Amino acid sequence: MADEVLRFLEPQRGGIYLDGTLGGAGHARLILEATYPDGVLIGMDHDAAALAAAKSSLAVFGDRVILRQGNFSDMDAHLDFLEIDLLDGILLDLGVSSHQLDSAERGFSFREEGPLDMRMNPATGVSAATVVAEAEAGELKRIFREYGEERWAGKIARAIVMDREQTPFLTTLQLADLISRVVPASKGPQRIHPATRVFQALRIHVNGELESLRAGLDTAWKRLKTGGRLVVISFHSLEDRMVKQTFRALATGCICPRRLAVCACGHQPEVRVLTRKAVRATEDEININPRSRSAVLRAMEKLPVKGNQNV
């Protein structure tokens, strides 16, 4: 969604932008080009491999690029470290990158054999193999149902708990094969691999993706200058709901009960929502990049602080 990101972020010369999900640095490059010659881009990713690749691919932009390894939920600490107070724009393009998905050794793919890991930062947290080995059936069911909207969550969870007593699940295909055996094949034109939802759910759980988004959204708007913009691309309905509700709450003015004729709360909107409806990828883009089919973009702009109207 390159065009849409630029349209809503409106990167300007001389601006300071944070790409909290640097990944393959495609959006970062566009922002750097659009802010030529003096815009600055802070690129964050908690995957060291993504940062190492970005370091060489963005080298042509010299000291206009600052790279930080970390979770965007910790952007406050990183910005404080860099002695940067407020930003002109922030981009969060959530989830995994194509490169992570395609790297079998990272364990995100149910189509290729690899260790059942799924951590975006393999140096922290616990792997998917550990979750699958140690979580109780009820917890596995909750993860598959909540994060994967998996209809057969209970059946899959019970099968895992039974099978793991014989052999631990250490690889991607081991788990994918079990799911294929347990789940009836999906019907209809858009048939997906039976392991799709469970793999997505484990990835979201292992990486604490919803917790990071919650913390990131709570912080990001405070780090924007007046007129600064936040653009978020999500791929999951739970993420999109969180983004939508957060934007709506921040854009709400008076929160007094309706029965009051005069505002008593003095509550002011902090932001203006720029996307009344979710923005989706065009058919052309979906044809080139099928993953963009589930991408949903929302954007907001920080409003000036107004005096308390109640006084």
Ligand X SMILES: C[S@@+](CC[C@H](N)C(=O)[O-])C[C@H]1O[C@@H](n2cnc3c(N)ncnc32)[C@H](O)[C@@H]1O
Residues that bind ligand X (CB under 6 A): 20-21, 23-27, 44-47, 50, 71-73, 93, 95-97, 120, 212
Give the nearer residue to ligand X in terms of CB position, either 178 or 279.
279
Residue closer to ligand X (CB basis): 169 or 172: 172
Question: Backbone phi, then psi, for 210, in 5-degree steps?
Answer: -75, -35
For 226, the token pair is 């007046």
What is the phi-psi region of residue 14: left when phi exceeds 0, alpha when psi lies from -120 to 50, beta otherwise? left
DSSP state of 15: -
DSSP labels, 229-252: EEEEEESSHHHHHHHHHHHHHHT-
For ligand X, the closer of residues 21 and 127 by Cβ is 21
CB of 168 to ligand X, least distance (A): 26
Amino acid at 195: A
> Residues with Cβ < 8 Å from 175, sequence gap 6 or more?
110, 116, 132, 160, 169, 195, 198, 199
H-run or E-run covering 79: helix 75-81
Residue 1 · residue 279 · CB < 8 Å: yes
Instruction: Kindly state the smallest distance separating residue 117's Cβ from ligand X, in Å.
Output: 13
> CA-CA distance, 46 to 95, in Å (whole number)?
12
301 secondary structure, DSSP code: E
Cβ nearer to ligand X, comparing 42 with 175: 42
Q: DSSP character for 196?
A: H
User: Which of 114, 194 has the CB closer to ligand X?
Assistant: 114
Which CB sits closer to ligand X, 109 or 212? 212
As measured in angstroms, the least distance from the Cβ of 210 to ligand X is 10
CB-based contact 116:129 (threshold 8 Å): yes
Amino acid sitting at position 3: D
What are the angstrom distances between the C-alpha of 67 and each of 32, 48, 78, 208, 301? Answer: 13, 10, 10, 22, 25
Quote the least distance from Cβ 241 to ligand X, whole Å: 17
Provide, rounded to whole angstroms, the least separation between the CB of residue 142 and ligand X.
21
Taking the complex as a whole, how short is the minimal distance between the CB of residue 266 and ligand X, in angstroms? 34
Say what angle helices 137-148 and 196-206 make with each other, to 10 degrees.
Answer: 100
Query: Minimum Å distance from CB 5 to ligand X?
Result: 8
Least distance in angstroms from the C-beta of 172 to ligand X: 18
Q: Which of 33, 136 has the CB closer to ligand X?
A: 33
Side-chain half-sphere exposure of 305, counting CA atoms within 13 A: 6
Q: 23 or 114, CB closer to ligand X?
A: 23
